[in-house]
Chain A
Amino acid sequence: MSMIYLDNAATSFPKPEETYVFMDQFYRTHGVNPGRSGYDLCMETGALVDDTRKELTAFFNGTNSERLIFAYNSTDALNLALFGLLQPGDHAITTTVEHNAVLRPFEHLARYHGVEIEHVPFDVHGFVDPDEVARRFRPNTKVVAVNHASNVIGTVQPVGEIGRRCRERGVLLVVDASQTAGKIPIDVQAMNIDVLAFTGHKSLMGPTGIGGLCVQDHVDIRHTRAGGTGVRSAHRLHLDEYPWRLEYGTPNVMGIAGLHAGVEWIRKTGLARIHEHEMRLMRRLVDALREIPGVSMYCQDGLEDHIAVLAFNVDGFDAGNTGTILDVDHDIACRTGLHCAPRVHEQLGIDKIHGAVRFGIGPFNTDEHIDAAITAVGEIAGAHAHVA
């Protein structure tokens, strides 16, 4: 068996064959600057960009495809949103389950821009209580930003309930859907999400370097950058109209093409079918690891409202060492450490032992992959038990 890839929470790999083929073909035949110059080919390329906006808007049940913004990735998109929504004197609420894509922009907003930030802890099962969020509302609370699903413990947060409380108070809800877009359904209207940030290279099955925002009609985000838009060049300032308001310079056509193909593949395969497959493998994995002495899993006591992301440690081994053994002895690729989500590890009390090992299951993983992972973890735990 060739390398077993269980690092899908970092990026999905491989991509569907359709993604590779379409990117290659499209860029060979349409690799021009989209919509800028007016000749037929450039208009055709622009049409793909617009079609992908519409496709993603429908995918997230948004209402206005002009407010589907392309960015480099979730971090880039979240920077656009958070810096464009918050001003000195504002208060914002986030959680300890966040990735640095949210945590660090907030730290910068707090340190350099006079924004007050509060972090709501997750409970013992890994979930944020919407009432705990609501209890922190203040008259100057402008934004709540939450991770739809944790990239460490895989818990899916009750975003709809958090959103409902935000709506009642006129607070904007920004959701980081890096781990969920393409894994589970997202309905920005039903879930009261005002701004959704997504990345293309994880479960949306596109390449790296493409992501974006889905911004609801009633939300206005200030532009914090400025530059070329390809239209209305005489304007001295950056345009206010969407999507140009939040897009700067020539877009990543190759990335958008790959994202288009990835979303098409999800549509054909079926979101529910992909999730069901991944969660079946997840249950197989968790059930087996639970039986291995010396293996500790975090917030995996139930798999309801979870995605197929598992954090664990093996007694006697630093997480990094377990990962290296999995790589070298068993040809299993995974991620170890703090996973860019330091507060999760701090709350779990495992930051001092260098975090955890993470398995991220993807649509192309098989029962054989999971069985090999179970055997490998069992051998590592057994080796330590033997020495101890």
Chain B
Amino acid sequence: MPSIELNGTVYSVDENGFLEDPKLWDERVAADLATTEGVTGLTEEHWRVVRYLREYWLSHDIAPMVRKLCKETDTKLARIYELFPSGPAQGACKVAGLPKPTGCV
């Protein structure tokens, strides 16, 4: 199983860098994972997206549809790409500690 070391912590991840065990996620982990996306400081705007993804996934066991993510967080998708350059699925979901989405976002 691949692993990465971020800020002194070793994380088990899948081949795409997504957290192997989503239950191990917390806000410090999010900040560490964000660095793999080139995001060095998570702003409130980042957190609004991350928290929504996290809560939705905990409730539904699946990532939300991208249209729903944008509507519920009142964030344009183009802005999400600015916040998370890899996009909502590859970037934001990774930072939120979700498994790699196969559909939806």
Where the two chains meet, the residues of A that have a C-beta atom closer than 8 Å to any C-beta of B are 317-318, 321, 324-325, 327-329, 379-380, 383, 386-387
Contacts and interface: CB of A to CB of B under 8 A. Distances in A.
Interface of B: 66-67, 70, 76-79, 81-82, 85, 87
Contact of B77 (A324, A386, A387): A324
9 contacts: A318-B87, A325-B81, A328-B70, A328-B77, A329-B70, A329-B77, A383-B79, A383-B81, A386-B82
A378 to B, nearest CB: 11
A386 B85 CA distance: 13
A387 B70 contact: no
Contact of A321 (B76, B79, B87): B87
A386 B76 CA distance: 15
Q: Is the interface of B mostly helix, strand, loop or mixed?
A: helix
B84 to A, nearest CB: 11
A378 B81 CA distance: 15
A369 to B, nearest CB: 20
A383 B66 contact: no
Residue from B66, B78, B81 having most chain A Cβ neighbours under 10 A = B78
Nearest to A327: B67
Residue from A318, A324, A379 having most chain B Cβ neighbours under 10 A = A324
Residue from B81, B82, B85 having most chain A Cβ neighbours under 10 A = B81
Contacts of B78: 325, 329, 379-380, 383
A249 B47 CA distance: 59
A387 B77 CA distance: 14
A379 B77 CA distance: 12
A329 B82 contact: no
Contacts of A328: 66-67, 70, 76-77
A318 B90 CA distance: 12
Contacts of B70: 328-329
A249 B85 CA distance: 53
B82 to A, nearest CB: 5
A311 to B, nearest CB: 21
